[in-house]
Amino acid sequence: MMGGMSGQQDGQAGMMGSGMMGPGMMSMMRQMMMGQQGGMGLPFEHVEGRIAFLKAELKIADAQAPQWNAFADSLRANAKAHQAMHEQMTKGGMPTSWPDRLAFQQKALATRLDALKALESAAKPLYAVLTDEQRTLADRLLPGPMGMM
C-alpha cells in the first residue's frame, strides 16, 4: 500500500491512480476524511440524539445551560458542515485529476480545521463550568480530533 502511493509498483497503478478510484476506494476515502469509525455511522447522523445523550450523561445543570447550549450549537454546525462535504463527495464524486484531488483534500481539511476551532471555542467555556466528575466523563465521552459530531 505504501509503495503504491508513490507511483507504479509491480506494473499496477498507484493507490491514487485512476484505476483505484472505484466505489471501494471512495468508501475508504469518505471514512478517512469524514472520521467514520466502525459501526458508529456517519458523524452527522443522529446529532440531536448524540447531543441529548451527552447532556444526560454529563448531567448538565441549569447553571451550565448557556455554555452547554453554545457547545451543542457548535456540534450542530459541525454536523451540517460534514454532511455538506459528504453530499458533495457522494453526488459529485472525487475529482479525477491529481491536482484537483489535492485541492479537494485541502478544502476538506480546511473545513475540518474550521470545525475543530469552532468546537474548541465552545468547549473551553463549557469545560470551565463542569464539576470534576463531569470533566472526567467529558474526557471520555466528548469527541477527539477524529471524532466528528
Per residue in 81-135, pLDDT (tens digit) is 888 887 777 887 788 899 999 998 898 899 889 988 999 999 999 999 999 999 9
Task: Identify whether 106 is part of a domain.
Answer: yes
Task: Identify whether 8 is part of a domain.
Answer: no
> pLDDT per residue over 37-86, tens digit each?
444 566 667 899 999 999 999 999 999 999 999 999 999 998 888 888 87
Task: Identify whether 103 is part of a domain.
Answer: yes
Number of domains making up the chain: 1
Query: What is the span of the domain harbouring residue 117?
Result: 43-149
Cβ atoms 104, 85 nearer than 8 A: no
Task: Identify whether 67 is part of a domain.
Answer: yes
Average pLDDT over residues 23-43: 49
- Return the biggest CA–CA distance within the chain: 64
Measured between alpha carbons, how far is 79 from 118 in angstroms, rounded to an integer?
Answer: 12
Q: Is pLDDT above 80 for 35?
A: no
Task: Identify whether 65 is part of a domain.
Answer: yes
Task: Identify whether 119 is part of a domain.
Answer: yes
Task: Identify whether 124 is part of a domain.
Answer: yes
Cβ atoms 103, 95 nearer than 8 A: yes
Task: Identify whether 105 is part of a domain.
Answer: yes
Q: What is the pTM of this model?
A: 0.65
